[in-house]
Amino acid sequence: MNSISSQARSRESGGCDDGVVTEEEWRRWGAVSPLPAAVKQIVDDLKVLELKVDAQIEFGGNGGKLQGAFGAYEDKKHRATYEALDDPEKKFRFFSARQVACRLLGSRGYLCQKCWLAMEDCMCANVKPCGLWKRIHFWLYMHPRDFLRQNNTGKLLWQVFGVHSASLCIFGIAEDEEIMWDEFKRAGV
């Protein structure tokens, strides 16, 4: 992945206002939950930090990581925040929210929001939707590192069967997990 600034991606992505992640954008990536508060907070913190250090957010390199002066500064800041958390559950929730926030910002204008492939490799026009028996519902319980990964094949479930037949739940994102576990309880699982 090439190093591309967040502003350039934001301009290309449509529906995204200067680094703000909207509910609509969040849902277009396949989520069923409202935009998680922790993810929104990290996105907001990144935008404030961008102004504070007067360096543009850049993603690139292996895994689309934060790059440059901003990346180095943010890395120190997030490591300090992580170390200050004493509860392993809180640490993982922070890690999950940060992973998701960075992937959301770094994928704008680069990945298709349906198939998660680079725009030039988008395969959405080639996927034929298929009906699913009404009583069947899939849950994609995904590690945050797999969110928006191009090689994640789980996303094909909602491409083929539709978002009403396959729901995304990101491990460590409280809002997603709560929705999934409530659905399981309601179904008697």
* Contact by Cβ (8 Å): 181, 169: no
> Residue 111, Cβ neighbours under 10 Å: how many?
24
Residue 12: the pLDDT is: 42
Residue 61: the pLDDT is: 66
Query: Which residues make Cβ contacts (< 8 Å) with residue 73, sequence separation at least 6?
Result: 49, 53, 55
Question: Taking the chain (189 residues) in consecutive chunks of 10 residues, what is each chunk's mean pLDDT?
Answer: 41 50 91 91 91 85 77 88 92 93 90 90 86 81 90 81 84 93 91
DSSP 54-89: T---EEETTTTEE-HHHHHHHHHHHHHHHHH--SHH
* Residue 18, phi-psi category: left (phi > 0), alpha (psi -120 to 50), beta (remainder): left
> Residue 170, Cβ neighbours under 10 Å: how many?
27
Residue 59: the pLDDT is: 84
Pairing of strands 138-142, 65-66: unpaired
Residue 91: the pLDDT is: 93
Q: How far is CA 81 from CA 40, 52, 75, 132, in A?
A: 16, 17, 10, 44
Instruction: Name the amino acid, one letter, at 63.
Output: G
Residue 4: the pLDDT is: 41
Number of separate helices (H) and strands (E) present in the chain: 7, 5
